[in-house]
Structure 1
Amino acid sequence: MTDHNATAFQSDIPTPYYQIDLVALKQNLMTVQRLCELSGAKALLALKCFATWGVFDFMRPYLHGTTSSSLNEVRLGKETFGKETHAYSVAYSADEIDAVLSYADKIIFNSFNQLSAFKDKAYQANIPVGLRLNPQTSNSSFLIADPARPFSRLGEHDVAKVQAVLGDISGVMIHNNCENDSFEAFSASLDDIEAKFGEVFHQLSWVSLGGGIHFIAPDYPLEKLAHRLKQFSDTYGVQVYLEPGEACIHGAARLVTTVLDTLHNGKPLAVVDASIEAHMLDLLIYRETAPVVSINHQSCQLSQKQTSDSTIIYGKSCLAGDIFGEYELPAPLQIGDTVAFGNAAGYTMVKKNWFNGVAMPAIVICDEAGKQHLQKSFSYEDFKASLS
């Protein structure tokens, strides 16, 4: 994310806090909107990635609705975003399906069993029904996030069995990309999907191709992607849906922290008042490094070389591996310095937790004029209420 106004990030709001930058968010959303205009596809925000509804009014004009992974998410999408609301879950329980259907505009079942169990309720509610398909191929660099991993439970793959239930469904969802920034890889994968399920697509009215397509990259051939999607739509006579999560919010937020302590144990060490375990959990899950986007409110381009003088920035939890990353800094960090970590929107606020009782970051919105607004803060009472 580029600082459109360095002074905008100076604040009297106590750290830690997540800061959403509406200027950067708008840049992503305009790219999503352009892709939809060129291709005829519809874009649904994936709430599993980003569900900070305080900016939904800002996002709504650029998107067609939301897609969910649970009863809570589909309800949140209906109540706070509106427009189209797609409901999906790996497995619905019998005691929640009625509530799900009350909020959904479409419902997508993960398996033949789920379809058989709940399709009649969906018909009675006049809700279009879909089924998740698994092409058994994917574009994912991480096994943990690979929908086509061995023995995957995510969707059905038997074409003959899918054809047998075509009378029960009007569409399908296929999600087999994860941070895929290659148009060629996406197009080749779609070729494989068409070869396997093409006859199925001809008998449907809509197809969701899921998310995980990193088409907001500066050098991504957006027009080629749009042409490929339109070609797919025209070939089968279907409405194409996309489910962007990261593509909507990439680079549009940061986690702002303060250095609480500095140490030296073979290398310079610094401890900030946040935690990857509690506040940027995907760094721990995927063993990634958080980008530092500013120090003391000044933008910086940092090398991530690991040298004898490079600084390891730790979180404040008791987890030994609570590490934001190792950085070659322009100057040693001092107690009281402000350090802001980038890419703090996707899979961060939706996964934040109260591990160690570490203070929960507030949520702050920086508007297009560079003014900050405190959207939500958290207290001891919130911590206490999360337990029993």
Structure 2
Amino acid sequence: MDHFLYRDGVLHAEDVPVAEIAATVGTPFYVYSTATLLRHFRLFDEALEGTDHLVCYAMKAASNQAILKTLAEAGAGMDVVSEGEYRRAKAAGVPGDKIVFSGVGKTADEIRYALSGGIRQFNVESEPEMEVINAVALELGTTAPITVRVNPDVDAKTHAKIATGKSENKFGIPIARAREVYAHAASLPGLEVIGIDVHIGSQLTDLDPFRLAYQKVAELTQALREDGHDIRRLDLGGGLGIPYTRSNEAPPLPVEYGQMIREELGHLNCEIEIEPGRLIAGNAGLMVSKVIYVKHGEGRDFLILDGAMNDLIRPAMYEAYHDIVPVTEATPGVEPQPYDIVGPVCESGDTFAKARLMPPLEAGDMVAFRSAGAYGAVMSSEYNSRPLIPEVLVHGDQFAVIRQRPTFDDMINRDTIPEWL
């Protein structure tokens, strides 16, 4: 569910007409719904009600300060994967003891910064990383709380570029080696081993891969406790998918996911952490774009938009589907027609959809890309020297620009010309 609905034929973001936002900020732009962000966070929180748990938003999905602060005030922790994300979380008011630091390539400087500022735990991805965290902790005269990310060799049955739990993926330590790796961690005086971490991928639409991975984690928990480790926290990652299409095939609900966690791990009496990102932010955002031209080609028609692959790269990178709808609802009975929907970037890959059925559109009409809140703005770039597009947050009948569109001068003046030129 989201809060982007037609009223009297006009698409609204909560109680604000999308066209009103466009008149203020221009197109293209991103718009997020506060009500949807909070609803989806609370669905996860309520799914684990009655258990000791923390929902840590995976902020790589959408990391604008306003989004982070909205979720932090609702009680969310944060899952970060860089010093920049850690700094963003702290700037949004998230305390260090609610920040989990993940990622395969943490540097000594990043580890030092997070340890100095406060951290809930590091999710360790390799033995060399473990050694670096130990050295930094000893240098600072402290101990670093860690979990070890285990790779359970489970096929998440998702896109190859977002699968993380198979043996050939770069993430985590093979679960078969976990006991020896934990023994080594326990021998390092700068580390405090507190739990296990697992994350098998993103956009999962079936609970079975989760269940299989969590069964392996349950067995490992028992084995590590027998080895003398105080395993008291299980970080289960994120990855629950969202419906990008309006078909009847919906991914599992958070309440079903929570029940499965209880069934597989409830007997262990561990604190549970989950790290959803896409399901919290994905359907909470639209990208709105305007038709520049309608081009009649050989056997096909093109809608050429002012939004491009640099603004929303998911279709080009992942062959991802986004539902694309007109901002002004089509008149009932109007026959849709197929369009290739493309952007103005000089790449054939700058294509959002092929032969997509849409109501007849003209230059100046606006369209909205649904389910664009996750991995949209955060993955955008200035390719072709196109300025980053604004982000807008809606709250009821109010809206605010939460990231301005830079001017061309802003963009160009970030460059520095050497004195010899």
TM-score scaled by structure 2? 0.82
Q: Quote the residue 2:246 is aligned against.
A: none
CA gap of 1:70–1:18, structure 2 versus 1, over 3 A, is: same
CA gap of 1:41–1:96, structure 2 versus 1, over 3 A, is: closer
Q: Quote the residue 1:151 is aligned against.
A: 168
**Pair 1:287 & 2:319 matched:** yes
Give 3-state SS (helix, strand or coil) of 2:214's partner: helix
1:113-152 equivalences under 5 Å are 113-122=128-137, 124-152=141-169
CA gap of 1:193–1:128, structure 2 versus 1, over 3 A, is: closer
The alpha-carbon deviation at position 223 of structure 1 amounts to 4.1
Q: Which runs of 5 or more residues in structure 1 are unaligned?
A: 302-306
**Pair 1:70 & 2:103 matched:** no
2:271 maps to which of 235, 239, 249: 239
Give 3-state SS (helix, strand or coil) of 1:170's partner: strand
Give 3-state SS (helix, strand or coil) of 1:364's partner: strand
Alpha-carbon separation, structure 1, partners of 2:414 and 2:238: 31
The alpha-carbon deviation at position 122 of structure 1 amounts to 3.0
Alpha-carbon separation, structure 2, partners of 1:182 and 1:38: 24
2:239 maps to which of 192, 212, 235: 212
Q: Quote the residue 1:304 is aligned against.
A: none
Q: Quote the residue 2:384 is aligned against.
A: 356
Give 3-state SS (helix, strand or coil) of 2:68's partner: helix
Alpha-carbon separation, structure 1, partners of 2:269 and 2:331: 49
* Counterpart residue identity of residue 59, structure 1: L
* Counterpart residue identity of residue 230, structure 1: R
* Counterpart residue identity of residue 99, structure 1: Y
* Counterpart residue identity of residue 44, structure 1: C
Q: Quote the residue 1:18 is aligned against.
A: 30
* Counterpart residue identity of residue 116, structure 1: E
CA gap of 1:148–1:231, structure 2 versus 1, over 3 A, is: closer
Task: Identify the range of structure 1 (111-120 vs 163-172) with the bigger mean alpha-carbon deviation.
Answer: 163-172
Q: Quote the residue 1:189 is aligned against.
A: 213
Alpha-carbon separation, structure 2, partners of 1:59 and 1:291: 26
Alpha-carbon separation, structure 2, partners of 1:201 and 1:252: 41
1:285-364 equivalences under 5 Å are 285-292=317-324, 294-298=325-329, 309-364=337-392
Structure 1 runs (4+) greater than 6 angstroms displaced:
215-219
Q: Is this contact kept in 1: 2:58–2:276, CA < 8 A?
A: yes
Task: Identify the range of structure 1 (10-19 vs 122-131) with the bigger mean alpha-carbon deviation.
Answer: 122-131
Give 3-state SS (helix, strand or coil) of 2:92's partner: helix
**Deviation per CA, 1:314-360, whole angstroms, max 9, x where unpaired?**
01111112011135445322110111111111111111100001232
The alpha-carbon deviation at position 72 of structure 1 amounts to 1.0
Q: Is this contact kept in 2: 1:45–1:63, CA < 8 A?
A: no
Alpha-carbon separation, structure 1, partners of 2:302 and 2:107: 48
The alpha-carbon deviation at position 53 of structure 1 amounts to 1.4
Q: Is this contact kept in 2: 1:42–1:242, CA < 8 A?
A: yes
CA gap of 1:74–1:140, structure 2 versus 1, over 3 A, is: farther
Alpha-carbon separation, structure 2, partners of 1:228 and 1:331: 42
1:46 maps to which of 51, 55, 58: 58
The alpha-carbon deviation at position 191 of structure 1 amounts to 1.8
The alpha-carbon deviation at position 374 of structure 1 amounts to 1.8
Q: Quote the residue 2:115 is aligned against.
A: 101
**Pair 1:87 & 2:101 matched:** yes
CA gap of 1:229–1:41, structure 2 versus 1, over 3 A, is: farther
The alpha-carbon deviation at position 60 of structure 1 amounts to 1.9
Task: Identify the range of structure 1 (161-170 vs 238-247) with the bigger mean alpha-carbon deviation.
Answer: 161-170
Task: Identify the range of structure 1 (283-292 vs 1-10) with the bigger mean alpha-carbon deviation.
Answer: 1-10
Q: Quote the residue 1:275 is aligned against.
A: 308
Alpha-carbon separation, structure 2, partners of 1:148 and 1:267: 41
Alpha-carbon separation, structure 1, partners of 2:151 and 2:112: 26
**Deviation per CA, 1:39-91, whole angstroms, max 9, x where unpaired?**
43311011111211112332224343101111111121122140401112312
CA gap of 1:240–1:269, structure 2 versus 1, over 3 A, is: same
The alpha-carbon deviation at position 208 of structure 1 amounts to 0.5
**Pair 1:255 & 2:267 matched:** no
Give 3-state SS (helix, strand or coil) of 1:333's partner: coil
* Counterpart residue identity of residue 126, structure 2: S
Alpha-carbon separation, structure 1, partners of 2:242 and 2:211: 13
- Number of aligned residue pairs: give it: 379
Q: Is this contact kept in 1: 2:134–2:144, CA < 8 A?
A: no
CA gap of 1:27–1:71, structure 2 versus 1, over 3 A, is: same
The alpha-carbon deviation at position 283 of structure 1 amounts to 1.6
**Deviation per CA, 1:255-282, whole angstroms, max 9, x where unpaired?**
1111111111121111111112x11112
Give 3-state SS (helix, strand or coil) of 1:28's partner: helix
The alpha-carbon deviation at position 214 of structure 1 amounts to 3.3
Give 3-state SS (helix, strand or coil) of 1:310's partner: strand
CA RMSD of aligned residues (A): 2.7
Alpha-carbon separation, structure 1, partners of 2:18 and 2:331: 14
The alpha-carbon deviation at position 30 of structure 1 amounts to 2.3
Q: Is this contact kept in 2: 1:44–1:63, CA < 8 A?
A: no
* Counterpart residue identity of residue 3, structure 1: F
The alpha-carbon deviation at position 151 of structure 1 amounts to 3.1
The alpha-carbon deviation at position 150 of structure 1 amounts to 4.8
Q: Quote the residue 1:59 is aligned against.
A: 71
